[in-house]
Each structure stands twice: as structure tokens, then as C-alpha cells.
Chains A and B, each alone.
Chain A
């Protein structure tokens, strides 16, 4: 499903990824591990089609993801619907006035009917246990609540692949435990899940496979 072949990427000459190659099958849950600054977030941006490899190729469901293919608006929209990305910092992901508007933003764009949008929002709210947050402004929520809403606003779009960048960063123990259990539940949906994390417990709980990136920005195994 996801095939990265010999990918290199650098920020103004400073390498962030060096000759990274791996492939991920459908329905797999893969954890990316590595020290800070090893290039995990860069790799996730690349997998989301936000940046493009300078060397090497990235293929998603048989389609080469390049600047050219992503400049095709319909392809890009379809791709972004298929690949859901949860940012490390949920603050940056929430831009609507209320939580319910956040949840409805994606499905409304997809042109779903009001009934379908209501059903999806209601189901996701129930899954995440955020009934009491619906009318509140996302900015004023706690870290754990923001993370739930950020996940919710991606889930309502029903992506095939869910990419989470350091999902446990900045959360308290209770929120961490909740999120770990939620991801375990979400794994039952047979979606492809990619997670960047340092957390051993989360890795042991969820990972079908672990990909290690070392401090030299190389894939170890």
C-alpha cells in the first residue's frame, strides 16, 4: 500500500532523511521509533504529501506521490481524504469556532447529507466521549480534550490510513491510557495505522511492526 524507496530529504542542505526504504501493507499498524530530530515528523509530512522526496520515490496504492501528481486538485483531495493526519500539536489542527464545527468540517466538505453528517458526528462523539465539549471553543480545551477533538475531526472523514505524530506527547497519564486504549479499539476497524512514538507501552500494545530511524536519519530495521 505504502512504498518508500531510497528516500532522501534535506532542509536547506541539512539532511532529515537518508536513503529511507520501507513498505507498509494494508491494515498494518506500524510504529516509527527514533530519537528526537531523527526525521520522523519529516517522514510523516512526506507520507501526507506535504513535502516530496529529493531523491527516491514514494508510492501510495500504486500511485507515485510527487509535486506534479499532488498539483492535481482532485487527486490531492482524494489522497487527503484517504490519509488522515493527526498533528503532534493538536492546537495547530483545530481552527473552527466550536468542537461540533470541527467534527463536521470534513464530512461537510465531502458533500455528505445532513443526516449522514449528524450520524458520523454523533458516533465519533460517542466513541471519544466528548459529548460535553460540543459547543465549546477548541482553543479553550485541555491538552487531552484537544487531542480527542483532533482525532475526532479526522475520523469523521473516515480515512483509510491514520497517521499519528507523537500522539501521547504532552498528555497526562490518564489521557495517555485513554488514547492507547482508543487506538487499540480503532485497530479493530482494519485501517492502516502509522504512529511515531517513543512510548514502549504503546508500541507493545499496538505495533504489528516497528521501524527504527536512527540519529543519522537512516532506517535501522
Chain B
């Protein structure tokens, strides 16, 4: 026997007579729910099935369209892009549309607040052009993110000849957001389970969560680096990148039409 003294304290043998008091601990639950919903979004993105178009084509199209609509001096072209984006948006599920509009609207409102002084000074066009462009850009990024798994998006960045180390860092960041998010979730659940009364030092408990998460992330990063070295990592990050598929021809045709329109409306009128 390792435990020599079979001592059980008296209070442990009795049933606890305890009546809890009210406490303001809603923020622990709210923070917990926020992290959990963020993680669930990450998970649902990671579980996305292959969409109709390749991620590589969607990424190129998204970046190209953002550049075109931001640099266009012709508002008619911006309206055309707006129409194209709305058509693309309408092909998604209601839940995805709500999510995208939920991100695009605050961004548009925020940009409207920034250009409000100019609007009040009489520059009324600026309000429409800036706000609409911001709305279109964020919506396009939203469509990209809800229809493409992030691991494929990072893989497709190779198309733009981004350095390996950038793509690797991006990949690892996405992975560790989930891992560290899980750690935070579990620790906050532990706080919640043990918050059985009035706690005047909640900040101290939450700082403990942050401290432990930081230490854990430091330890994991060192272990990961060790594991990568052991598996022959030499700074090059070769991974399978997504390929174009036959449906991408539709994106290609739309892009050609839009580029021609851009040239025509901006330079030939």
C-alpha cells in the first residue's frame, strides 16, 4: 500500500449544507460562449467539403476583383461588381448569407462613420463610393471564407509566390488558434464549474487562464519546432497545392469579361 494512513476527515463524511449567493459572473459564461462559437466556426470551416470551384481559382478571382473595384474610377463598374457579388452571394445557404452580411454590414457602417466628416462637408459621392467598396470587398472575402477550407486557402497562396515561411506561419497560426482555443475553453469551463459562490477575484482566475495558455503555447511551439527538425524541416515548406478544375472555366470567363469592362469603362470612355 502506498497510502499508509487511511485518514478521512470528519467534514468529508458529512453532507455539505451550502446555499450559494448571487454573483455577477455572466461575463465568464459570455466569454466562454464567445470562444466556443469562434472555435465552432473554425471547425465548420475546416470540415467544408470541396466546393464547385477550386480554392485557387476563387482566391485569384477574389483578389483580382478587389483590386479592380478599388482602383476603378468609374462607379458604373463598381455597381457591376456589386451585382456580380450579390449573384454569387445568392447561391449560398441562408445561414452563410447571414454570416457574410453580418460581417460586411458593420465594416460598411464603420467606414461610413470614418467618411462622415467629408460627407458633412459636402462630398456626398465619397459616402457611396467608399462604403460600397468596403461592403463589396468584405462580402467577397466572406464568400471566399465560407466556401473554402482555410488549409486550401493557405495552400493556394503559393500561386502568388509568397515565401514558404509565411505560408507555414499562417498554417500553424490557424491550427494553434483551435488548439489554444480548446485549452482556453476547458480552463474557463473549470473556472465555471468551481465558481460555486461569490468570487471577488475573477480577474485573477482569468489571468491564470491567460498565463497558462501562454506557457502552454510556448511549450507547444518549442515541441513543434523540435518535431519539425526531427522530420527533416530545413525551412522549405512543400505542400500539395490545390489544382484548377474544369468548373473554373466559368470563373475565368466572368473574370475576362470584368477585366475587359474595367478597361473599357475606365480607359476608353
Contacts and interface: CB of A to CB of B under 8 A. Distances in A.
A126 B12 CA distance: 13
B203 to A, nearest CB: 12
Interface stretch (B68-76, B115-123, B190-198, B234-242): B190-198
Given A77-B195, A89-B186, A177 B2 contact: yes
A181 B189 contact: no
Given A160-B15, A174-B2, A178-B2, A106 B194 contact: yes
Contacts of B267: none
Nearest to B216: A91
A111 B18 CA distance: 9
Nearest to B195: A109
Interface of A: 12, 48, 50, 73-74, 77-78, 80-82, 85, 87, 89, 91-97, 105-106, 108-111, 119-120, 123-124, 126-127, 129, 139, 153-155, 157-160, 174, 177-178, 181-182, 185-186, 188-190
B91 interface: no
Q: Is the interface of A mostly helix, strand, loop or mixed?
A: helix
Nearest to A184: B3
A107 B82 CA distance: 60
Nearest to B212: A139
Nearest to A111: B197
A185 to B, nearest CB: 5
Contacts of B189: 50, 92
B114 to A, nearest CB: 38
Contact of A80 (B1, B193, B205): B193
B31 interface: no
A55 B47 CA distance: 25
A95 B190 contact: yes
A185 B186 contact: no
Interface stretch (B19-27, B52-60, B146-154): B19-27
A51 to B, nearest CB: 11
Contacts of B196: 77-78, 80-81, 106, 109-110, 157
Interface in B1-41: 1-3, 5-9, 11-16, 18-23, 25, 40
Nearest to B3: A181
A81 B19 CA distance: 10
A189 B15 CA distance: 10
Contacts of B2: 174, 177-178, 181
A95 B20 contact: no
A91 B187 CA distance: 8
B23 A73 contact: yes
B197 A153 contact: no
B208 interface: yes
B214 to A, nearest CB: 10
A3 to B, nearest CB: 20
Nearest to A79: B196
